[in-house]
Amino acid sequence: MKTTHARLADGREILYFDETDDAVRVLDDPRDMPPVATNAEVRYDALLDEWVAVASHRQTRTFLPQAQDCPLCPSRDGRRTEIPSPDYEVVVFENRFPSFAMGAPALPPRPADTPGTDPDADVGLRRRAGWGRCEVVCFTSDHDSAFAALTPERVRLVMEAWVARTQALSMLPHVMQVFPFENRGEAIGVTLHHPHGQIYGYPFVTPRTRVMLESARRYRQRTFRNLFADVVAAERAAGIRVVAENEHWTAFVPAAARWPLEVHVYPRRQVPDLPALDEAERGAFGPLYLEVLRRLDGLYGRPVPYMSAWHQAPVRADRDLAYLHLELFSPQRAADRLKHLAGSEAAMGVFINDVHPEDAAARLREVIL
Amino acid sequence: MKTTHARLADGREILYFDETDDAVRVLDDPRDMPPVATNAEVRYDALLDEWVAVASHRQTRTFLPQAQDCPLCPSRDGRRTEIPSPDYEVVVFENRFPSFAMGAPALPPRPADTPGTDPDADVGLRRRAGWGRCEVVCFTSDHDSAFAALTPERVRLVMEAWVARTQALSMLPHVMQVFPFENRGEAIGVTLHHPHGQIYGYPFVTPRTRVMLESARRYRQRTFRNLFADVVAAERAAGIRVVAENEHWTAFVPAAARWPLEVHVYPRRQVPDLPALDEAERGAFGPLYLEVLRRLDGLYGRPVPYMSAWHQAPVRADRDLAYLHLELFSPQRAADRLKHLAGSEAAMGVFINDVHPEDAAARLREVIL
């Protein structure tokens, strides 16, 4: 495997990941581009005890371009894209429209529009620079492909890119959690069709992760055991919601699934993040995950929209409590129906699932591959 | 004002709310309907420490019927709908496709598919009957109207319906929180166009409310003050995000807004829920809220999709910490663009807002009514 590092015309980093050590990539980016200007900031919500990102420069981002204008295809036939090379296998580069960026301008701790009140009772606007990192991961140079159509060898290469970027982003100042994910399907708001994912380096531990770690902390206090490990063991013992497994990975519909299609994928061994996976585990992921994706797409005989999210431990905390896993979910609730988040979900956080998790698991197992 | 109580053909409750004491409603429902059969259940997610509802009988619910088949119009001209009377002002009835219902079958505490493990380490499937209540509130018999088009007098009547149903549902066994809300717009998944909202009686305190109350508890411990009250005071003092206010209510874009359009509406006085509002507060809500809705619809010269959610105190806990308010939000991020919840929001709970809250507030204030 070979990694080739370069910079785009505006100074953003780009990294090519190739299966063979003799791959040669064109690195020069002759485009005339101004440097990325970002006003990313984060704001603290005192009621929900969470940070929210505000990134108004993203409003102008590329939206569903025609295939011939795709910025994620390689640069060919005189057309310049985000990837200067005329071909690639897997490539990672910094997003030109980032939600978080190391170059975000510093903000005064107390802006003029917050009146000076009792500092103990300070609930006015609290904002910080949106420091962090947002990267794009292209899984293939083939515009019309999909993750589910990759070879296991290519997934292995994508895995190496995720591992390398998790390591790199974990070293950046301010980054507290690294989040590789894929959104697939126009129905869930994907703005570029080319098969790609993203990696976020957040300047805080995400709300979802914080809640899970608090549950795991209470559970360990009570039982001396790891909550995630016991959940996986219970699912494997019950079996009824298991969709697929191999020597190193288990995929199951969670007992309290929120989405009509939802599959969680755990390694057999408790590890905090992707870099902690060993060779055998990295290699075994692709075949298992591809099977899950193909079962999903087999349900209705066509690709379903989905989100796929790697849950990794925080960079510098609770690495013994956390348990690397992937959560995949789709809003497809019937052949012609999507689940929308309505008032109960969006306003109150109460999910209402129209599909029994056991039925979803059975249907996924029954798909003929 | 007059309230008229009756039952639909299948035994569900229906209540008419009329402005005048001499209103007469047709109560007989001659339809031939089997009783509602619900298999609603709730399942505990040990990782997120939350309950999730599973209600697979809802899959067959009515989906975007033609106007002439609307089940929320009054029964006229020989056509039978959910409302037997040939006209109504405001009407509330039990949902035929409920996510929560008092008649949900009881479930065994330990189902067969959960292996008996160490009870201290029990993380297998934990399920309970989905007891609770789901009601539909029709705001007007006019199919083509909208909440924003109601008169202040009609909003006052809707308020009385919300108050009465909050009181009634709060008395039901198992109900821990009452949640009146409205989803408006096909873009966010509304399945019936007739102007209507819903009221849920949840058998638990919702995750969002739990988080807010924990924040409020820590804040009171630290300051002896109410967190919500201090947030409202800070917003009124800053002014920059206030959209509208009157003697009893304040509407502002929150400093850490998650959505491109988001407005929170608080009464001046801290009260736990709608029944605790006094006459003057109930009367002053309509004019203020109608102004907010009309400013929203004025932004793009046409109705925007939105969700509007009443946050009330739990029925039996933390009524001193909570502070009744309404949270209204819309995914409309530009004239022709909706915000979708992508991986960061849906998987990690980190919202990325493309619109600065101060800009949203300024644009809403500038709408000419």
- My answer on whether A197 and A216 are in the same domain is no
Nearest to B267 by CA among B310, B307, B296: B310
Average pLDDT value for residue range A136-141 = 98
B74 pLDDT band, cuts 50/70/90, is very high
Mean pLDDT of A235-263: 97
Is the model's pLDDT at B77 over the cut of 90? no
| B151 contact A CB<8A | no
Which of B232, B252, B354 has the most A C-beta neighbours within 10 Å, making it the best mutation to test the interface with A? B354
C-alpha closest to that of B232 among B326, B306, B365, B358: B326
Q: Is residue B138 located within the same domain as residue B252? A: no
A343 and B59 within 8 Å at the Cβ level: the answer is no
How sure is the predictor about A108, in pLDDT bands with cuts at 50, 70 and 90?
low
ipTM above 0.90, yes or no: yes
User: Helix, strand or coil for residue B330?
Assistant: strand
On whether both B235 and B170 belong to a single domain, the answer is: no
Catalytic residue among A174, A194, A196, A311: A196
Give the strand order in the sheet containing A325-330.
Answer: A2-7, A13-18, A90-94, A133-138, A196-202, A177-184, A306-311, A325-330, A261-267, A249-252, A242-245
Q: Are B193 and B215 part of one and the same domain?
A: no
pLDDT of residue B108: 66
Domain match, A154 and A213 both: no
Yes or no, beta carbons of A45 and B254 under 8 Å apart:
yes
Over 70: is that where the pLDDT of A34 sits?
yes
What pLDDT sits at residue B304? 94
Whether residues A175 and A264 share a domain: the answer is no
Instruction: Give the mean model confidence (pLDDT) for residues B135-164.
Output: 97
pLDDT at A80 over 60: yes
Looking at residue A77, its pLDDT comes to 87
Query: Mind telling me how many Å the CA of A348 is from chain B's nearest CA?
Result: 5
The pLDDT-based confidence of B137 (bands split at 50, 70, 90) is very high
Tokens of A231: 């959940």
Q: Which of B162, B178, B202 is the last residue in one of the domains?
A: B202
- Confidence at residue B225, expressed as pLDDT on a 0 to 100 scale: 95
Give the mean pLDDT of B78-100: 95
* Strand boundaries in A156-238, DSSP class E: 177-184, 196-202
* Predicted confidence (pLDDT) at residue B219 exceeds the cutoff of 90: yes
Q: Does some domain include residue B115? A: no
Scanning the structure block, which residue is given the tokens 């309509």? B286
B196 part of the active site: yes
pLDDT band at B66 (very low <50, low <70, confident <90, very high): confident
* Mean pLDDT in residue range B241-264: 97
pLDDT at B59: 62
Q: Take residue A299 and report the two structure tokens written for it.
A: 């349900």
Q: In what helix (H) or strand (E) does residue B308 lie, and over which residues does it extend?
A: strand B306-311
Q: Count CB pairs under 8 A between chains A and B.
A: 282
Of the residues B196, B340, B352, B353, the best mutation for testing chain A's interface (the one with the most A CB atoms within 10 Å of its CB) is B352
Same domain, B235 and B181: no
Same domain, A85 and A144: yes
CATH of the domain at A355: 3.30.428.10
pLDDT of B41 strictly over 80 = yes
Which residue of chain B comes nearest to A348, CA vs CA? B208
**Of B146, B179, B202, which closes a domain?**
B202
**Could you identify the residue written with the tokens 């505490």?**
B109
pTM: 0.94
| pLDDT surpasses 80 at A117 | no
| pLDDT at B113 exceeding the cut of 70 | no
* Integer Cα distance of B99 and B57 in angstroms: 9
Mark whether B218 and B359 lie in a shared domain: yes
- Residue range A271-281: mean pLDDT, rounded: 98
Interval A241-262 mean pLDDT: 97
Q: Tell me what the pLDDT averaged over chain B comes to.
A: 92
**Cross-chain residue pair A350–B240, CB shorter than 8 Å:** no
Q: Are A135 and A98 in contact (CB under 8 A)?
A: no
The β-bridge relationship of strands A133-138 and A127-129 is unpaired
Please say if the pLDDT value at position A109 is more than 70: no
pLDDT score of A115 more than 60: no
Whether B148 is covered by a domain: the verdict is yes
Among residues of chain A, what percentage have pLDDT more than 90? 80
Residue B184 tokens read as 């408006």
Phi first, then psi: what are they for A286, rounded to 5°?
-55, -55
Mean pLDDT in residue range A111-139: 78
Parent domain of B255:
207-366
* Percent of chain A predicted with pLDDT > 70: 94
Residue B283 pLDDT class (50, 70, 90 cuts): very high
**pLDDT tens, residue by residue, B154-173:** 999 999 999 999 999 999 99
Q: In terms of domains, do B214 and B306 share one?
A: yes
pLDDT tens per residue across span A166-200? 999 999 999 999 999 999 998 877 878 999 999 99
pLDDT reading at B325 higher than 70:
yes
Query: Which of left, alpha, beta for B136 (phi over 0: left; psi -120 to 50: alpha)?
Result: beta
Q: What span, in angstroms and rounded, lies between the C-alpha atoms of B211 and B217?
A: 10
Rounded mean pLDDT, A321-348:
93
Whether B121 shows a pLDDT value over 80: the answer reads no
Same domain as A214, residue A169: no
Residue B254 confidence (pLDDT): 97
B160 exposure class (CB count in 10 Å sphere: 0-12, 13-18, 19+) = middle
Cross-chain Cβ contact B206/A350 below 8 Å:
yes
Of the residues A202, A220, A235, the one at which a domain ends: A202
Identify the pLDDT of residue B36: 82
At A178 the pLDDT is 98
Say yes or no: B217 and B198 in one domain: no
**Read out DSSP for B102-167?**
TTPPP--SS-TTS----GGG--S--EEE--SEEEEEE--S-TT--GGGS-HHHHHHHHHHHHHHHH
Task: Report the domain count for chain A.
Answer: 2
For the segment A331-340, the average pLDDT, to the nearest whole number, is 89
pLDDT at A187: 80
